[in-house]
Structures are given as structure tokens and as C-alpha cells.
Structure 1
Amino acid sequence: MHDITFISTIHKEIGKCNAKELYKIIKKLSPEVIFLEAIEETYSEYENYLFSTYGIFHNKLEISAIQRYNYDTSFQYVPVCENGLSDAFHKKIKLVSQNRELQKLIDNFNYLAAENGFEFLNSLECINLQEEMRELESRILNNNEMDKTVKADIEDYEKPMIQNIYSYCNNNHFSSAIFLCGAAHRKSIIEKIEKSKPQEQGNLSWAIFEN
């Protein structure tokens, strides 16, 4: 049986959302495999050399936590993204971030993440706040072509992550794993997990990490 726990994260440290706190969660779950929302190039051989030789931690929160876990046990690290987020996505973020109402929502999100850590990132409150931000972004863009393009791009970004996890499961033997993915994808990833369950074999079980 493959047991996988899905955990929502952020990519940069802020308050209680930091590598040490995520490490504690990882250590408690003791996974043999860690799936990460990242492309292969995110953690290069050179960065691994800097850590293994000089103890220099990666600037990405999740990888820094994974490196700490590496002190405790051996495991398999599996980046599951095929491509980074699209140029259209970054153009959209640059455009909508100028909106003061959206900035207030972002500031509130960051405050809650800093104060409450991964409990917040893995809560219904986090999902609802992310949905509120996405809806506001669509209103700012007036549902124009950029908005539609970015939504399609995000779908194309997320689908391979789940597919690559299942592919790894079908070709490797392990008992426990975790999947670390940014909180902005939490609702959509949970929906994809639920939708994929009837199509998958009975040797895989998902758990959603919650507060």
C-alpha cells in the first residue's frame, strides 16, 4: 500500500511558516518518498553539493526542510512538475498586484500564515481566502483573455504533478510518502485527488493534512 499525505506549503519563509516547522511535520510523518511541487532544476547538483559539503541550506522553504530531514533518514526526493508557471501567469500577477484591494487580501494571507503557520495553510480558511483572491483577480481582469489563458495554464501546470505521482507509485515500492505543494493550489489539488481515486488501483491511499 502507498500512503501519501498531501501538505500545503508556501515557498518562502514567513513567521511560523518556516523550514524548521515544516521539518517537524515531515519528521513526524517519516516519509520514504517526498514529492515536491518543483521542476528538476529547482534543486541542482551544485546546490546539493553546497548543502552536503558546507551545510548551506536552499532558499526554497520546502527544500530547506527536506534537507533538515536528510540528517535523520534516507528517502527519495521526487520533483513532480514538468514545467514552471507560464509567462502569462507572471504577467497577470504583475498586473493585478497593483490593485489595493487585492494587496490587502495578500497582506491578510501573509499575516495569518506568519501567525498560525502550517495549521493555517492546511485549513478551510486558507482555501476560502485563496478563492476570494482568485475571484478578485478575475474581476480586476474583467475575465479577459489573459485571465482565461492563465486559468488554462495553471490546469496544465497541476495535472502533470498528479500524473507523475501516480506514475512513480506504479513503478516503485514504498509505504509512506508526502506531497508538498503551494497553498494556492490546495483546493484544486484536493479536487484532482478526489476525482482520480476511482481510476486508481486500490494500493494507493491519500490523506489530506489538516489543522
Structure 2
Amino acid sequence: MHDITFISTIHKEIGKCNAKELYKIINKLNPEVIFLEAIDETYSEYENYLFSTYGVFHNKLEISAIQQYNYNTSFRYIPVCENGLSDAFHKKIKFVSQNTELQKLIDNFNCLAAERGFEFLNSLECMNFQEEMRMLESRILNNNELDKIVMEDIESYEEPMIQNIYSFCSNNNFGSAIFMCGTAHRKSIIKKIEKSKNGRQKNLSWTIFGQ
């Protein structure tokens, strides 16, 4: 049986959301496989060389935590993204981030993440917070063509992650794993996990961290 725990994260350290605290979670779960929302280039051979030779930690929070876990445990690291987020996504973020109401929501989110750490990132409260931000972004854009394109792009970004996890599970033997993904994708990923339970591998069990 493959047991996978889905953990929501952020990509840069802020307060209690830091690599040390994430490492504690990873170490407690003791996974044999770590799936990460990342492309192959996110953790290059050179960056791995810097860490293994000089102890230089990666600037991406999740990889820094994985590097700490690497000190005393052997595991498989599997980046599951096929492509980065689209130019349209970055164009949208650049535009909507100028809105003062959204800026206040982002500031409040960052304060809660800093104060409460990964407990907050993996809560229903956080998921609702993210949903509120997405709805505000759509209102700012007035549901225009860019908003629709970005929603389609995000779907195309997320779906391969689940497919690649299942593909790996079909071809490899392991007991426990974790899948770390940014908290902005939490609601959608959970829906995809629930949907995938029907008709997929029967020897795979999902646990949603924080639920």
C-alpha cells in the first residue's frame, strides 16, 4: 500500500512557516518518497553540489527542508510539475497586486502564516482565505479573458502533478510518501485527489495533513 500525505506549504520563509518547522513535519512522517510542486530545474545538479559539498541550503523553503531531512534519511525526491506557471498568470498577478483591498488580504494572510505556521496553511480557514483572494482577483479583472485564460492555465499546471504521482506509484514500490504543494492550490488539489480515488490504483491511500 502506498500512503501519501498531502501537505500545503508556501515557497518562501515567513515567521513560523520556515524550513526548520517544515523539516520537523517531514521527519515525523518519515517518507520514503517526497513529491514536490516543482520542475526538474528547480533543484539543479549544481545546487545539489553546493549543498552536498559546502552545506549551502536552497532558497526555496520546501527544498531547504528536504535538504535537512537528507542529513539522516535516504529517500526519493520527485518534482512533479511539467512546466512552470504561465506568462498570463504572472501578468495577472502583476496587475491585481496593485489593488489595495487585495494587498490588505495578502498582508493579513502573511501575518496569520507567520504567527501560526503550517497549522494555518493546512486549515480550512486558510483554504477559505485563499478562495476569498481568488474571488477578489476575478472581480478586479471583471472576469475578463485574462482571468479565464489563467484559470485554464492553472488547471493545466495542476493536473499533471496528480498524473505524475500516480504514474510513479504504478512503477515503483514504497510505503510512505508526502506531496508538498503551495497552499493556493490546496482546495483544487484536494478535489483532484478525491476525484482520482475512483478508478485509480486501489493500493494508494491519501491523507490530507491538517484534516
Q: Fold-level match, TM-score > 0.5? A: yes
Matches of 1:74 and 1:89, distance apart in 2: 36
Matches of 2:94 and 2:65, distance apart in 1: 29
Q: Please state whether the residue corresponding to 1:4 is helix, strand or coil.
A: strand
Q: Match for residue 52 of structure 1?
A: 52
Matches of 2:153 and 2:66, distance apart in 1: 28
1:80-119 Cα offsets, whole Å, 9 max, x none, are 0000000000000000000000000000000000000000
Matches of 1:183 and 1:201, distance apart in 2: 25
Q: Match for residue 78 of structure 1?
A: 78
1:187 lines up with 2:184 in the alignment: no
Q: Match for residue 111 of structure 2?
A: 111
Q: Please state whether the residue corresponding to 2:207 is helix, strand or coil.
A: strand
**Identical-residue share of aligned pairs (%):** 83
Matches of 1:191 and 1:5, distance apart in 2: 15
Q: Match for residue 38 of structure 2?
A: 38
Deviation at 1:200, TM superposition (A): 1.1
Q: Match for residue 17 of structure 2?
A: 17
Q: CA RMSD in A?
A: 0.5
Q: Match for residue 61 of structure 1?
A: 61
TM-score by length of 2: 0.99
1:125-163 Cα offsets, whole Å, 9 max, x none, are 000000000000000000000000000000000000000
How many pairs are equivalent?
Answer: 211
**Uncovered stretches (5+) of structure 1, i.e. residues with no partner:** none
Deviation at 1:31, TM superposition (A): 0.1
**Uncovered stretches (5+) of structure 2, i.e. residues with no partner:** none
Q: Please state whether the residue corresponding to 1:52 is helix, strand or coil.
A: helix
Deviation at 1:201, TM superposition (A): 2.0
TM-score by length of 1: 0.99
Q: Match for residue 164 of structure 2?
A: 164
Q: Please state whether the residue corresponding to 1:198 is helix, strand or coil.
A: coil
Q: Please state whether the residue corresponding to 2:117 is helix, strand or coil.
A: helix
Matches of 1:22 and 1:137, distance apart in 2: 29
1:129 lines up with 2:150 in the alignment: no
Deviation at 1:199, TM superposition (A): 1.5
One-letter code of the match for 1:106? I
List, as ranges, runs of 4+ consecutive aligned residues in structure 1 with deviation greater than 3 Å.
Answer: none
Q: Please state whether the residue corresponding to 1:101 is helix, strand or coil.
A: helix
